[in-house]
Amino acid sequence: MGRLFGTDGVRGVANADLTAELALGLSVAAAHVLAEAGTFEGHRPVAVVGRDPRASGEFLEAAVVAGLASAGVDVLRVGVLPTPAVAYLTGALGADLGVMLSASHNAMPDNGIKFFARGGHKLADELEDRIERTYRAHASGEPWDRPTGAGVGRVKDYDQGFDNYVAHLIGVLPNRLDGLKVVIDGAHGAASRVSPEAFSRAGAEVVTIGTEPDGLNINHECGSTHLDKLRAAVVEHGAALGVAHDGDADRCLAVDHKGNEVDGDQILAVLALAMREADSLRKNTVVATVMSNLGFKLAMEREGVQLVQTAVGDRYVLEEMKANGFALGGEQSGHVIVLDHATTGDGTLTGLMLAARVAATGRSLADLAGVMERLPQVLINVRNVDKSRVGTSQELAAAVNAAERELGTTGRVLLRSSGTEPLVRVMVEAADHEQARKVAEHLADVVKTTLG
């Protein structure tokens, strides 16, 4: 049996892989593990529980709440809010644990469970491993030690969470957005109310698309994975920029006034220079992953900003930032972490800070994003292969080496197994798009034949 926890919590098809029984069991296990670790010592434990609008989130939330309360944890149920909002409220309310039910950018049938430790930080790998071991031990028959009477957890709806989080976002903005027209695509997800409200309160004129979740339409042909509708809306409404979130709003991609995409690398570049100007880019360093475009690295070198690169996954970016006191980091996919104001990627905060830079400088987003030139990059997702063998296949290694020799110093190759989906990602970067495409397609074929 494979590991339950991936790079971003436990994720799978709701009611098939991720069942109510699993959600309940993991929640009880999390409560016991944190109690044993001393997190609850000396007080009655409290958890914040939120979700995105997926239909399956309704029964999974009920299971998680039941599991926590049955283990003696009081629950504050905040309803539909973004992942970073649940992380923020976990810290702001002094809760011992946060739980978010979401599968982020995945299609509607999927769902996931993500745990946050006290302070709103992602749980350490070691704690996730202990939760999984504890869950498996009890799933095989070992009885739980259960509280009774007044010892069981109490459950309350915490309706102030929405306003508390929006007020936090507005409070950390460097300047207002008055006079700026912004289109927001909420992906019919967790930010459908939060993001338009925050931009409006900050002074922007807001046009919305993808902000009518019905439990079934999350991420469907909208949001950060489908930008066409946002591009069209920005041009149609003559907006200064557009902002696109994913289902749980921990990421943000943007579109300039011409409808051109501004990806996570470009957003990082813009914010890095803005924060350096404000003397808040600690150690003059930005953290990104090995998936970042080579153009981002070259731009940071030219601007005199230090770049530290990590493995793919926002948790690794965050670990590097926390370990070395860096203030800004993120991924090309739009996970951007501003550690002074958030403990995880926050798509609404990122969009607000990007818009604030446009408002403050009077420059267009296209002009600001022009600080870096994106080199052609082709990404192919290869499905239905054994992703666990990516690092052990000699034939695949030989093909990668040959491709790297062909590209020379003008490009690079990156193969990695997805941490959240059953697939292998093949990324090729080159000075010429056609060359990148050919090399990527060849390597994707090799992955299919050797790992299929």
- Residue ranges of the annotated binding site for Mg(2+) are 104, 246, 248, 250
- Tell me which H or E stretch contains 426: strand 423-429
3-state secondary structure of 174: coil
Phi, psi torsion values for 64, nearest 5 degrees: -65, -45
DSSP of 75-129, one letter per residue? EEEEEE--HHHHHHHHHHTT-SEEEEE--TTS-TTEEEEEEEETTSPBPPHHHHH
Rounded to whole angstroms, what are the CA distances from 303 to 276, 281, 299, 335, 337?
11, 13, 6, 22, 21
- Tell me which H or E stretch contains 424: strand 423-429
Please give the Cα distance from 97 to 85 (Å, whole number). 13
The residue to which tokens 């404000």 are assigned: 278
Please give the Cα distance from 65 to 144 (Å, whole number). 17
HSE, CB side, 13 Å, CA atoms: give it for residue 206.
26
First to last CA, the chain: 20
Task: State the Cα angle at 27 between 21 and 29, rounded to 5°.
Answer: 100
**List 27, 56, 102, 104, catalytic entry:** 104
Q: Which of 415, 416, 282, 259 is nearest to 337 (CA)?
A: 282
3-state secondary structure of 242: strand
Instruction: Give the relative orientation of helices 347-361 and 194-201 as an angle to the nearest 10 degrees.
Output: 30
C-beta contacts of 233-239 below 8 A and 24+ residues apart: 233/183, 233/185, 233/207, 233/209, 234/183, 234/259, 235/259, 237/181, 237/183, 237/207, 238/181, 239/181, 239/182, 239/183, 239/207
Please give the Cα distance from 187 to 224 (Å, whole number). 7
Known catalytic membership, residue 70: no
Residue 305 near residue 284, CB atoms below 8 Å: yes
Residue 155 near residue 77, CB atoms below 8 Å: yes
Contacts of 392 (CB under 8 A, 6+ apart): none
DSSP 375: P
Active site positions, annotated: 104
